[in-house]
Amino acid sequence: MDYLAGIGFEFDPKDQLMISSCNKTDVSVVSLRDDDIPQYVGAGVADFGIVGENVFYETPSSSRLVKRLGFAKCSLMIAVKEDSGIEDVNDLRDKRIVTSYPNLLTAYLNKAGVKAKVVYVQGSAEVAPTLGFADAVCDLVQSGKTLQENNLKAILKVMDSEAILIESPVLKNFEINPFNL
């Protein structure tokens, strides 16, 4: 919302609806779960969306990346317990890795020629090694604080990510571009 306000969209600060109208313009903002945004935009239900690059590549859709926005920067990392002995991608062979990003992790492992058991969870991946549920996790890391709190260390970067602007493939000759692209 700060980004949108910074490029000139005005909202009623008390408006906490899922669909908010902008003041002084014919634009509405729809608040959705991040992993749903690429599908809504790809289907043409929304003209544009702002979503994490990691979500864009994890979630197949026909939406198009228009611009990297320069905020919400983080990395999708593979992390292991400090004392695991796992140091590189080959050490993950036949290991169990918990993640909320199974498509990105599987593609990364396939590219490296490593077969591992990828287990999908919707969150709280960091606790999996401590509970004995996994040998490693693949999760977003910004500061590394959560990894430290769970006695994990990052060993491999799957990808860097930041907020991006995506566009619907349904748009044709869009005459008014609210993002000044």
For 132-162, the pLDDT digits (tens) are: 999 999 999 999 999 999 999 999 999 999 9
The pair of structure tokens assigned to 175 is: 């005459």
Q: 6-62, pLDDT tens digit by residue?
A: 887 777 666 666 766 677 777 777 888 899 999 999 999 888 999 999 999 998 889
| Topology of the domain comprising 2-71+162-167 | D-Maltodextrin-Binding Protein; domain 2 (3.40.190)
CA–CA dist 146, 94 (Å, integer): 25
Answer CATH for 74-161 from 3.30.420.40, 3.40.190.10, 3.40.50.720, 1.10.3720.10: 3.40.190.10
What percent of the chain lies above the pLDDT cut of 90?
68
Instruction: With cut-offs at 50, 70 and 90, classify the pLDDT of residue 5.
Output: confident
Give the residue among 65, 63, 24, 13 at the shortest CA–CA distance from 181: 65
Instruction: Please report, for the chain, the start and end positions of each structural domain, with discontinuous segments joined by +.
Output: 2-71+162-167, 74-161
Environment class of 86 (CB within 10 Å of its CB; exposed 0-12, middle 13-18, buried 19+):
buried
pLDDT for the residue 168: 93
The predicted model scores a pTM of 0.85
Q: Are 58 and 166 in contact (CB under 8 A)?
A: no
